[in-house]
Structure 1
Amino acid sequence: MSAPVEAGSSPSTVPQSLVLDFLGLHMLGRAQAARKAGQPVATQVFLTVLGALGVSDSATRTTLNRMVARGLLIRHKQGRTSAFGPTEDAMALLRRGRARMFSPTPFDHVEDIWTILNCPVPESLRNVRYQLHGRLSWAGFGTVQANLWIAPGRIDVEELLDDIFPAEALGLVQAFHGAPTGPSSPGQLLHAAWDLEALRAAHLGFLARWEAADPRAAEALPQLLLLLDDWGRLLRTDPGLPAAYLEEDWPAERSARTFQRLEACLGPLADEQLQQLMDAEG
């Protein structure tokens, strides 16, 4: 498998992200039913796929071992080699991510409703702060002030947090659905919680890498993994802010069209290549 075209390259690709993207395709993609349910992925498959993206064998092996230690992967012995499958926590993470990743309108919300969250983290749980911030950012939250988060749309906060907070800590969380009222204004809150110029720059960077990209059938799987990785990063950056408070040329719609066009072209071909890799190692 040759390296993907440079137009889709992303300078901040992280091997763990690529492993999760690959597992998302394997476990939840178009033709997952054609594969054995929960079939673990052989180490050699990960080496082949990530190697095509410029990740060294040693970096891939280290990443897999670390993901086992973090409770994201389960190791399966296959003779002298190993295979890896996602834990239940990893599967929940993949399902949450794919719901928005493949939404036809990932930057839109049905209602003009906001979720307001007061989320203090007890000192006894300081080790989950990084995980909490990542989870909230992916769900679309921005910080207005310490412990006070807002996100556009109606978000199920209990479902979002109940696997990282014990019941007694979850009881400290206060969440509301509603709309800002005077003297607050949505426009002011947007500027307080998000750097709109940075969000615009993230979209323009994504478009520069992908809007004119020419999909190549032979490189469908590595290209798709890079696309998914870059798209996921953009979704973590832009929660889908209400268009009424953004400039008319806001590029979110262009980004969504670009992703959907490329995913529709690359997806079926990538799944065929994934199946061939799994069959070769099965």
Structure 2
Amino acid sequence: MLGQETDVTGPGRDGGVRPQSVMLTFLGDHVHGNDICVFSGSFIDAFARVGISKEATRSTLTRMVRRGLLRRQRAGRRMYFGLTPVSAQVLRDGGRRIWGSGVVNDDGDDRWTLIGFSLPESWQRQRHELRARLTWAGFGPLRNGLWIAPGEVDVTRVIDDLGANVRVFAAEPRSPTDMRALVADAYDLAGLGRRYQAFLHRWDRPDPMPEAPDDLARSLVLLTEWLQIIRTDPRLPLRHLPGDWPAQQAQRVCHALHERFRPEAEAVASAILDTVPDAQSWADQ
């Protein structure tokens, strides 16, 4: 998964989806695994369906090349764009999260990763960066300098290059610890729950997104918004969450709508995609 420093998902400044987020959704659904590179004009045609301008699309392509998420491949006088090892890994991780592991953590084991760290008071930038990376990796603060995450988390990449004094433990709760109260204190459950409820309000209806020109547009927005939510969900154990937790219902709606949109979305994408074989396939590496 993308680290905090290379995040290309999340809302734009106006609260809507960002072009980079739509790009990853499009690549995951229509490019990854097909060993192809896509003409820049095809991206422009596809993204215009969700209100992204030609200039914004071209700027996004340039930024993603610069960040190692896309690579250029020329064919004749046209420029095509293909995946890189980094973006292929991002898309594999995203696919596993959407279709594999899902949003519900109902494992029988109540295992946690506990991390304690200390940084000099003068290291404000490193302190902020570490906290941001921990949050991205699913950690929540128990108290200053002591954070916890569900499951067993490899924190090597989280703490790499920060120079922090870190101690990491695998932990299990013991009586009299009230894990439901601990989870409520360490995580913004209310905020996460509101995001799931907003998703349901927008999509759990007979005719979602009626203003969209076709199901390719609906599919792109649906999965982009879904990824924005689940990338911030630490997958806390279901037993410690409120009884009316909306994540499972939201996931059912997302999966059902994606299947409903798929035939037309694939047909529209096939009609607008100008592609060439990818000279460097990363799909299975």
Note whether the superposition's TM-score is higher than 0.5: yes
SS in structure 2 at match of 1:85: strand
The answer to whether residue 15 in structure 2 is matched with residue 17 in structure 1 is no
Match of 1:178, as an amino acid?
A: A
Runs ≥4 residues deviating over 6 A = 119-123, 215-218
Tell me, yes or no, if the aligned pair for 1:76 and 1:84 is still in contact at 8 Å. yes
What is the CA–CA distance in structure 2 between the aligned matches of 1:180 and 1:246, rounded to whole Å?
A: 16
Summarize the Cα distance change of 1:267–1:142 in structure 2 as closer, same or farther, 3 Å threshold: farther
Deviations 1:160-195 (A, max 9, x none): x28x936x969x654333323356432233123211
Moved more, 254-263 or 76-85: 76-85
TM-score w.r.t. the length of structure 2 is 0.76
Summarize the Cα distance change of 1:277–1:141 in structure 2 as closer, same or farther, 3 Å threshold: farther
The answer to whether residue 272 in structure 2 is matched with residue 274 in structure 1 is no
Match of 1:50, as an amino acid?
A: F
Give 1:121 shift: 8.3
The answer to whether residue 147 in structure 2 is matched with residue 149 in structure 1 is yes
In the alignment, what sits opposite 1:4?
none
Deviations 1:184-239 (A, max 9, x none): 43223312321121122111101011111536897222211111111111112332
What is the CA–CA distance in structure 1 between the aligned matches of 2:54 and 2:46, rounded to whole Å?
A: 10
Deviations 1:122-167 (A, max 9, x none): 97x959938x836x54543333345543222333445xx28x936x
Give 1:70 shift: 1.4
What is the CA–CA distance in structure 2 between the aligned matches of 1:145 and 1:151, rounded to whole Å?
A: 13
Structure with more helix by fraction: 1
What is the CA–CA distance in structure 1 between the aligned matches of 2:117 and 2:105, rounded to whole Å?
A: 25
Give 1:109 shift: 3.9
SS in structure 1 at match of 2:193: helix
* Structure 1: gaps of 5 or more residues: 1-9
Superposed, which structure 2 residues align to 1:1-282 within 5 Å? 11-28=15-32, 32=33, 35=34, 37=35, 39-103=36-100, 105-110=102-107, 111-118=109-116, 126=126, 129=129, 133=132, 136-137=134-135, 139-146=137-144, 148-158=146-156, 161=157, 165=160, 174-182=167-175, 184-214=177-207, 219-278=214-273, 280-282=274-276
SS in structure 1 at match of 2:50: coil
Amino-acid identity (%): 35
What is the CA–CA distance in structure 1 between the aligned matches of 2:185 and 2:43, rounded to whole Å?
A: 41
Moved more, 190-199 or 46-55: 190-199
Instruction: Output the aligned Cα RMSD.
Output: 3.3
Give 1:16 shift: 0.5
What is the CA–CA distance in structure 2 between the aligned matches of 1:104 and 1:152, rounded to whole Å?
A: 14
Give 1:265 shift: 1.5
Tell me, yes or no, if the aligned pair for 1:114 and 1:178 is still in contact at 8 Å. yes
Tell me, yes or no, if the aligned pair for 2:80 and 2:275 is still in contact at 8 Å. no
Give 1:18 shift: 0.7
What is the CA–CA distance in structure 2 between the aligned matches of 1:27 and 1:121, rounded to whole Å?
A: 43
Tell me, yes or no, if the aligned pair for 1:137 and 1:236 is still in contact at 8 Å. no
What is the CA–CA distance in structure 1 between the aligned matches of 2:163 and 2:29, rounded to whole Å?
A: 34
Tell me, yes or no, if the aligned pair for 2:40 and 2:79 is still in contact at 8 Å. yes
Summarize the Cα distance change of 1:177–1:276 in structure 2 as closer, same or farther, 3 Å threshold: farther
Summarize the Cα distance change of 1:50–1:120 in structure 2 as closer, same or farther, 3 Å threshold: farther
